[in-house]
Structure 1
C-alpha cells in the first residue's frame, strides 16, 4: 500500500534528471539548448 505513494515521486525526479542530463550532454557536444534573445537597453 505505501509503495503506491513512494513510487509517485520517482517520475518527476526522473524527468527532471533526464532534462538536466540532456542539457549537459548538449553543452558538452557544442549544441545550443536555448534561443538567445537580444535585449534592448533602456533610455
Structure 2
C-alpha cells in the first residue's frame, strides 16, 4: 500500500480554491491512500 500526504497553505473561507489547489498538487499521484489536513477545505488553521 502506498500512502501519500498533502501539505497546503489553505486560504480561509475559499473552499473551491482550496480544493483546486489540492487537486492540482495530486496530479498523477499513484497513492492508495492520501492524507489531507483535517480542515484544509475551510482554510481554518
- Same fold flag (TM > 0.5): no
Q: Which has the larger radius of gyration?
A: 1
In the superposition, the TM-score normalised over structure 2's length comes to: 0.34
Higher relative contact order (CA 8 A, sep 6+): 2
In the superposition, the TM-score normalised over structure 1's length comes to: 0.35
Point out the structure with the larger helix share. Answer: 1
